[in-house]
Amino acid sequence: MQNSEETSLGGRFTFFGTSLAVKRMGYGAMQLAGPGVYGPPKDPAGAIAVLRAAVEAGVNHIDTADFYGPHTTNQVIRQALQPYPPGLVIVTKIGAIRPLDTSWQRAISADDLTAAVRDNLRNLGLDVLDVVNYRVMGSGHGVEEGSIGEQVAVLADLAAKGLIRHIGLSNVTPAQVAEAQTITDIVCVQNQYNIASREDDVLIDDLAQKGIAYVPFFPLGGFTPLQSSTLSAVAERLGATPMQVALAWLLQRSPNILVIPGTSAVAHLRENLAASHLTLPPQAVAELNGIAASGAVAQH
């Protein structure tokens, strides 16, 4: 099972069946791309500074995708961090492309997926990818049922060829997770989840029993940041920011949760990382657990 201990950045987690051990507080690189996750960063030097500051602070889990930009984010990661420090785990995802109209389109044929893996390898400057998530592009970025067996089999074949070490899933339903597990080992699931969006509670607990990582995207609400009077009140009592409390809640929710908040500013990065040192007392957790049930969250 996972190895989790109370250390810096939320402790450590070892992906089940692998030698990959990461700090539970990681970094998501999506915001390093330009507006709308398209084009180059507005501040290239700032993007490089954020990545280097994250690694210097002990972060060894970076989440990315070559369709961020497209290509830009991975190229910035390579420019900032290569030669990569020992123990750095870069997790990417495939299953989408970004055409010139800046839309998000499915790219799920065997040729599409193979080309995406090769794009990630080239732009990151790697010979093999640590973890590749198959991202299911549902309507409006939401999840949708349907077989993903064909696509997962392609990733398993790419792993057999030595281009991928391990396979994960993103934006999937429990049924799709179960289907994928009949084809290959799945080391992580990356779905939308936060203090207000808790549809995956049962899935998280099931994965925890199996030692499989759960990596919530939009941990702070994403494009529509979380706003809650309860969240703000708890934060004020604890001398923290609401977003720090939301991240700390995720770390305390389950030991298999890995958090990957993104930012393009060093100061904001440090604020996010500081959340890993925040311990929420039981009363605060109880109040925060009530947010999703009451629907008392505004997103702006």
What is the reported pLDDT for 219? Answer: 83
3-state secondary structure (DSSP) of residue 37: helix
Mean pLDDT over 85-94 rounds to 98
Residues 6+ apart with CB under 8 A from 242: 226, 227, 228, 231, 232, 235
123 part of a folded domain? yes
What is the reported pLDDT for 94? Answer: 98
Q: Which residue, 173, 170, 149, is CA-closest to 67?
A: 170
15 part of a folded domain? yes
> Which residues are known to be catalytic?
68
pLDDT in tens, 40-82: 999 999 999 999 999 999 999 999 999 999 999 999 999 999 9
pLDDT in tens, 101-138: 999 999 999 999 999 999 999 999 999 999 999 999 98
Angle (deg, nearest 10), helices 242-253 and 266-274:
50
pLDDT in tens, 143-153: 999 999 999 99
What is the reported pLDDT for 218? Answer: 85
What is the reported pLDDT for 223? Answer: 63
What is the reported pLDDT for 224? Answer: 65
What is the reported pLDDT for 7? Answer: 47
Domain at 78, CATH number: 3.20.20.100
As for how many domains the chain has, the answer is 1
DSSP state of 273: H
Over the chain, what is the mean pLDDT? Answer: 93
Share of the chain above pLDDT 70, in %: 94
pTM of the model: 0.94
What is the reported pLDDT for 222? Answer: 66
Check if the beta carbon of residue 5 is closer than 8 Å to that of residue 11.
yes
Domain that holds residue 192: 8-299
207 part of a folded domain? yes
Model confidence at 3: pLDDT above 50: no
Q: CA gyration radius for the chain?
A: 18
Q: How confident is the model at residue 225 (pLDDT cuts 50, 70, 90)?
A: low
The first and second tokens of residue 115, run together, are 């080309």
Answer with the residue of higher pLDDT: 226 or 87: 87
Model confidence at 296: pLDDT above 90: no
* DSSP per-residue letters across 188-220: EEE-B--SS--TTHHHHHHHHHHT-EE--BSTT
2 part of a folded domain? no
1 part of a folded domain? no
What is the reported pLDDT for 295? Answer: 56
227 part of a folded domain? yes
167 part of a folded domain? yes
Q: Which residue, 73, 71, 75, 67, is CA-closest to 28?
A: 73
Angstrom distance (rounded) from CA 250 to CA 175:
24
pLDDT in tens, 183-222: 999 999 999 999 989 999 999 999 999 999 999 998 887 6
Mean pLDDT over 267-282 rounds to 96
What is the reported pLDDT for 139? Answer: 76
- Segment of 2-11, 40-49, 223-232 carrying the highest mean pLDDT: 40-49
249 part of a folded domain? yes
Q: Which residue, 151, 268, 159, is CA-closest to 220?
A: 268
Angstrom distance (rounded) from CA 213 to CA 130:
14
pLDDT in tens, 230-241: 999 999 999 999
